[in-house]
């Protein structure tokens, strides 16, 4: 990986070339000592107009003047420090910080689940033992309120602070672009929170995940799942495809406006952060052979076992015309706004729902529970087949990065932000983060453009 260019150090000042060269008081007194008596103040020579001819010479002898009475020196008075007197105290050094704002993909929706549980064949349903094995709240001491630290569903995983760089996550699940400027539930508007943080901290970077709720990304994926259950394609239904296309076409301007609002919020606070716009990690496999599950598209096992109620052609439409098109628009908005862009579209690659490669927690041949390690597990919450509708909180988590996916996103953003925060005045860059089958979350590839020149 190539290091980003760094700022050149300021040029050294030539203090001698800038210092004044006026005559000193001592020099002026020395000049008076060598003056003849005839030029003493009040003599005719001193008052003569130099334009009226030569100064007359004094013919009489000079009379020496004796010294006057010697006065004792005044007592020493401590002198003030002239280098600091009257100057304001230096401003305190503010802690360095990074702020993440936007929607549930940065808040951390889905962090409850460590992979997914395999359902039973034929009659469906997920055994409670397997479900519990993937539910982090079943771990002693890990309560739901510890995983989601507020009603905005900010997870305990997406913490980007490293060293002296502090992280403040003010993203809120369900936030669209317009929600950035208004209060949500018990929270102030995100832009107002950002303004206060930028005044208190030296905010070096603001990472933004926005636009997914504007195009209704997860809702559209869920609509395709509903169509599968009804034996219909979503990708050929204009009631779904036409509104989706309109929303995607409109999202670019909304993201441009959001970036401008972020910059306006920090104006005059003393912080001049880099704005880093993030694309969306795609939770579903592409529908292409080789990377998509081989379970029958028309069989119930596809949903019961794999949590994948989607036709392959619908998966292709979601990957290109919805998720892919959304990310293309977000990238264009970042470029127009002069913002940095980090492409995480392939972050979950090799670990996507409906994928051929990842494994789910299941019963082994001897009846014990076998949970795959992070490098073999699914990194997004699937669509579980349950007898009843899942609780509202669980329904919100569907098709968001899970505990493993958020660990991958954390690793991605930590490296990207650390590099960008070190060069606050550099030109905007495009970085990328990519997963892969058999890769652990902390082993994903993070790439930067080559250095220019």
At 144, list the tokens. Answer: 């739901």
d(CA 238, CA 50): 103
The answer, as to whether pTM is greater than 0.75, is yes
Closest to 319 in 3D by CA, of 290, 352, 342, 297: 352
The residues that bridge with 447 in the sheet, in sequence order, are 432
CA distances from 343 to 323, 340, 424 (A): 12, 10, 20
Q: What are phi and psi of 216, to 5 degrees?
A: 60, 55
Give CA–CA dist 144/112, Å, rounded: 8
CB 180 within 8 A of CB 191: yes
CB 95 within 8 A of CB 163: no
pLDDT digits (tens, 9 = 90+) for 343-360: 999 999 999 999 999 999
* Residues 76-91 pLDDT 10s: 545 444 444 556 556 5
- Judged by DSSP in three states, 57 sits in coil
pLDDT tens, residue by residue, 366-393: 999 999 999 999 999 999 998 788 888 8
Answer yes or no: is pLDDT of 17 > 60: no
Q: How do 369-370 and 362-363 pair as beta strands?
A: antiparallel
pLDDT in tens, 173-182: 999 999 999 9
At 251, the pLDDT band (50, 70, 90 cuts) reads very high
Cα–Cα distance measured from residue 140 to residue 104, given in angstroms and rounded to the nearest whole number: 26
Q: Give the residue from 187, 396, 352, 168 showing the smallest Cα distance to 271.
A: 168
Summarised one tens digit per residue, pLDDT across range 161-219 is 777 889 999 999 999 999 999 987 778 999 999 999 999 999 999 999 999 999 999 99
Q: How confident is the model at residue 94 (pLDDT cuts 50, 70, 90)?
A: confident
Element (H, E) at 78: none
Q: What per-residue confidence (pLDDT) applies to 197? A: 97
pLDDT score, position 80: 45
């Amino acid at each position: 990986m190539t290091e980003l260019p760094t700022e050149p150090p300021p040029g050294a000042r030539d203090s001698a070339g800038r210092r004044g060269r006026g005559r000193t008081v001592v020099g002026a007194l020395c000049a008076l000592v060598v003056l003849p008596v005839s030029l003493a103040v009040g003599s005719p020579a001193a008052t003569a107009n130099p334009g009226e001819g030569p100064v007359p010479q004094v013919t009489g002898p000079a009379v020496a003047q004796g010294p006057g009475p010697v006065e004792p020196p005044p007592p020493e008075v401590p002198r003030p420090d002239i280098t600091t007197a009257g100057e304001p105290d230096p401003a305190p050094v503010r802690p360095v910080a990074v702020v993440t704002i936007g929607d549930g993909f940065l808040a951390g929706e889905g962090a409850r689940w460590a992979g997914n549980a395999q359902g039973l064949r034929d009659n469906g349903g997920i055994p409670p033992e397997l479900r519990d094995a993937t539910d982090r709240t079943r771990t002693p001491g890990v309560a739901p309120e510890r995983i989601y630290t507020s009603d905005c569903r900010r997870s305990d995983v997406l913490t980007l602070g490293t060293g002296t760089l502090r992280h403040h996550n003010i993203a809120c699940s369900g936030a669209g672009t317009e929600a950035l400027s208004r209060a949500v539930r018990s929270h102030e508007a995100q832009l107002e929170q950002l303004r206060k943080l930028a005044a208190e901290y030296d905010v070096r970077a603001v990472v933004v995940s926005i636009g997914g709720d504007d195009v209704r990304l997860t809702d559209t994926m869920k609509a395709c799942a509903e169509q599968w259950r009804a034996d219909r394609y979503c990708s050929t239904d204009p009631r779904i495809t036409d509104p989706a296309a309109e929303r995607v076409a409109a999202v670019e301007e909304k993201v441009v406006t959001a970036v401008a609002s972020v910059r306006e919020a920090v104006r005059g606070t003393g912080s001049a952060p880099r704005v880093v716009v993030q694309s969306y990690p795609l939770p579903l496999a592409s529908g292409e052979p080789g990377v998509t599950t081989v379970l029958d598209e028309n069989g119930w096992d596809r949903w019961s076992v794999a949590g994948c109620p989607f036709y392959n052609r619908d998966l292709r439409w979601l990957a290109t015309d919805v998720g892919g098109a959304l990310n293309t628009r977000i990238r264009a908005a970042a470029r127009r706004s002069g913002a940095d862009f980090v492409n995480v579209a392939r972050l979950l690659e090799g670990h996507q729902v409906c994928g051929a490669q990842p494994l789910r927690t299941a019963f082994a041949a001897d009846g014990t529970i076998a949970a795959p390690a992070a490098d073999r597990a699914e990194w997004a919450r699937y669509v579980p087949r349950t007898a009843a509708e899942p609780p509202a909180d669980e329904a919100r988590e569907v098709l968001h990065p899970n505990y493993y996916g958020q660990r991958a996103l954390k690793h991605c953003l930590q490296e990207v932000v650390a590099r960008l925060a070190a060069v606050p005045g550099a030109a905007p860059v495009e970085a990328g983060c990519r997963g892969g089958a058999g890769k652990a979350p902390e082993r994903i590839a993070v790439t930067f453009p080559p250095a220019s020149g």
